[in-house]
Structure 1
Amino acid sequence: MNPSWGTIGRLATVASLAWAMAAPAAAQLKKFAVQGGAPVPYVAFAPIYIGQQAGFFKEDGLDVEIRYSSGAPQATQLAAAGQADAAMITVEPSINGYEKGIRGKIFFATNNQLIYYIAVPEGSPIQRIEDLKGKKIGVSNFGSAAVPVVRAILRAAGIEPGPDTLVPVGVMDQAMAALQSNNVQALGLFDGIYFGLERAGYKFRYFKHPTLATLGNGGMFASDKAIAARRDDICGFGRGFAKSVVFMLTNPEAATRMWWNVSPAARRGATDAEAMKNGLPEIISTARTYDLGFPPQKRYGVIDQVRFKSYVDLLKQEGVIASAPAVGELVTDSFIDCINQFDAEQVRKVARDWKG
């Protein structure tokens, strides 16, 4: 999750999730705190909200609470310090933080693409990455995790970024103002922002990393201590998340309403039909980033360790980290078998029959 959230805050409101665990059996549930890498409810957390409302976490005896933070770095730090059981983040802070003493691992890859990429308006004369030579690209801020990826995309096309190639433009309305005024000719942001802009009616042409575009850089992080002490609970949380993705893909309309329950401000439209027309594409786009083709194609949570290493190497090449830790110090696949032990068709039936 990116640390720039000025306008996203206007799209979401902190709402009570009192319905999530309001059952007599709640006293028997174990608390499980997930630190989200954003300061407010965010559509990327939709599978957690769905799992709460559909009862998927309760099926594994968990009372899951999502907490919010300034961004992925803070979320990682809190989970590493034991102040949360897991964190839903982009992976960069767990990589960057290793040399600063962060000890924990990504135990579940959540998405199927590198969320950072370059966008130009659909009507732009820029047709190829090579056409970006000499152009300015807007990024949310210079500390954004998108920056090294944008630079690497340019370098892969033979373009050496100059000191003024990247320009801080913020996100959402601010970014579009910079683009429409021609202060920048392209944007280097992340998928959640693009989904929101698309929902607002903007159309883009996208340029992605030539070899890492399908490496998901979103994941679930837990400290080494939590992994040792709460294995069953971490597995149950991951399984509930995976079930929620299946639900989301099966019934995106219901998933949209669940998202509105958490963030009423995301419901935009004079009528229910208009609100659904506006909101559904964002949920569908989000769901597609989490779609790993659950059986028979693939299993949820699997981390491509070879390409993960390539991403770590990219961060080193771009000067983000001084040395590249061994991949085994950063990720674990020890939960994957457990997480995928559920009946996907039964979850799809729950989704199809959902009346909430």
Structure 2
Amino acid sequence: MTLRLRAGALALATLTPVLAACGSGGGGGADDEFTMVIAAAVLGPKEEVAVYAVAQEMGYFEEEGITVDTANADGSVAAVQAVGTGQADITAADTGSILSAVDKNVGVVTVGGLVQNWPWQFATLPGSDIQSPEDLDGKKVGVISLASGSAPYARAFIRDAGLEPEQDVQLLPVGVGAQAASALSSGDVDALALYGQAYSVIESSGTELAYLENPDIFQGIRSLSFAVTQDAVEENQENVEGFLRASYKAMLFSAQNPEAAMRIGYKVFPSLLGGASVEDRLPSDLASLEAWLASATPTSGDPSSWSDWGAIPDEDWDKTQEYTVGAEQITEPLPIDDVWTSDLLEAANDFDAAEVIEQADSWSE
């Protein structure tokens, strides 16, 4: 059975011809067919490249006996809703949005971490009169969208400065890339609240930025994590484990050889080129991908030493729940068993890392 996404609910990403839009898990599709929702309205050099494109091109999904398609949603809230309502099967979404969905009795659960180093930060133009968080009083802040992880981050940052969002500081959706840069440069907003990879795109286009330091409240908070339905864990565990295993192999490949990953990304998603040549696009896109990988992989050691892909320690969950309460996505911490299972990670980590690294080192077009 093939699951068609509801018109207007999600925008299908550009796909390779061999893939078909289909779903499983909560969606009622065939057991080995998945739709992965990318929690952004447009494609970019992030998980769609480092996870999906590499796993697809290198045959990691095929080795697991699964067929995976992609779709885009306008932010993490919409992505989690798509999974929870059976329109899709798995997403890498803002962990706070997953907690919020569980709090609203949406039947999703986190099965593995992805972005483990907090990627969000406030930025202004050099010379701005905003030199500290308190200087945001009376200002306008650009967020990706009010349905993205950008908005709760901005609210938590503002509250930590003793200010109230919407009352003292206005949040305006500005997207990413050129649109966000234009909003800042033109004065439509006074600051941006984006993630590191998005800033690298802006800076590579020639816009200089100055950054505000994050307060300590953001240390140890998890950003993107993989979420599926509870039913998928119970009824389709082997294939979800296979998806995670393929994804973490792709992450290892990408960290070992980011340029190869980016070139694979262009092959799987030609729209990433925007009509330009690979060589014209590669420098800026590679910088963006490397910035994203820096947020998604350990900060120490080299790829050959990394292990326990997807693990989220209890202390990180405590910090993440505390942050999510402060961002008003949930009213109080939730029972950890309602939002997280680590039962799939032993199988997800059961692969030969040395073989993946060799594949990355020897890759050629």
- Normalising by structure 1, we get a TM-score of 0.83
The 1:182/1:36 distance shift into structure 2, 3 A limit, reads: closer
1:41 aligns with 2:43: yes
Letter in 2 for 1:340: N
Moved more, 263-272 or 50-59: 263-272
Which residue of structure 1 lines up, in the alignment, with residue 214 of structure 2?
Answer: 208
> Any idea what the Cα deviations from partners look like across 1:50-98, whole Å, max 9, x if unmatched?
1000111222222222233343223322322344332222223321122
Instruction: From 95, 112, 115, give the equivalent of 1:108.
Output: 112
Corresponding pairs, count: 339
Residue 321 of structure 1: CA displacement?
A: 2.5
Which residue of structure 2 lines up, in the alignment, with residue 226 of structure 1?
Answer: 232
Residue 350 of structure 1: CA displacement?
A: 0.6
Letter in 1 for 2:169: T
User: Which structure 1 residue ranges, 5 or more long, are not aligned?
Assistant: 1-8, 22-28
Which residue of structure 2 lines up, in the alignment, with residue 312 of structure 1?
Answer: 321
> Any idea what the Cα deviations from partners look like across 1:207-246, whole Å, max 9, x if unmatched?
3342324433101101111001111111111111111111
Instruction: From 183, 192, 200, give the equivalent of 1:187.
Output: 192
- Partners in 2 of 1:271 and 1:260 — Cα distance? 10
- Partners in 2 of 1:68 and 1:140 — Cα distance? 15
Q: Is the 8 A contact 1:309 1:327 kept in 2?
A: no
> Any idea what the Cα deviations from partners look like across 1:99-150, whole Å, max 9, x if unmatched?
3221221111101223432112345464444554554422344454323322
Q: Is the 8 A contact 1:156 1:210 kept in 2?
A: no
- Partners in 2 of 1:244 and 1:201 — Cα distance? 31
Letter in 2 for 1:200: S
Instruction: From 167, 170, 193, give the equivalent of 2:171.
Output: 167
Letter in 2 for 1:253: E
- Partners in 2 of 1:73 and 1:162 — Cα distance? 20
Moved more, 208-217 or 332-341: 208-217
- Partners in 2 of 1:269 and 1:70 — Cα distance? 23
Q: Is the 8 A contact 1:171 1:193 kept in 2?
A: no
Residue 287 of structure 1: CA displacement?
A: 1.9
- Partners in 1 of 2:221 and 2:156 — Cα distance? 15
* Residue correspondence of structure 1 range 270-289 to structure 2 within 5 A: 272-289=278-295
Moved more, 245-254 or 32-41: 32-41
Which residue of structure 2 lines up, in the alignment, with residue 3 of structure 1?
Answer: none
Q: Percent identity?
A: 24
Instruction: From 348, 351, 358, give the equivalent of 1:342.
Output: 351
Residue 249 of structure 1: CA displacement?
A: 1.4
Letter in 2 for 1:85: D
- Partners in 2 of 1:311 and 1:304 — Cα distance? 11
Which residue of structure 2 lines up, in the alignment, with residue 50 of structure 1?
Answer: 54
Which residue of structure 1 lines up, in the alignment, with residue 26 of structure 2?
Answer: none
The 1:188/1:241 distance shift into structure 2, 3 A limit, reads: same
SS at match of 1:111: coil
Instruction: From 312, 328, 340, give the equivalent of 2:337.
Output: 328
The 1:268/1:104 distance shift into structure 2, 3 A limit, reads: closer
Q: Is the 8 A contact 2:41 2:74 kept in 1?
A: yes
Moved more, 180-189 or 55-64: 180-189
User: Which structure 2 residue ranges, 5 or more long, are not aligned?
Assistant: 1-10, 21-30
The 1:304/1:118 distance shift into structure 2, 3 A limit, reads: farther
Instruction: From 254, 262, 265, give the equivalent of 1:259.
Output: 265
Letter in 1 for 2:321: V
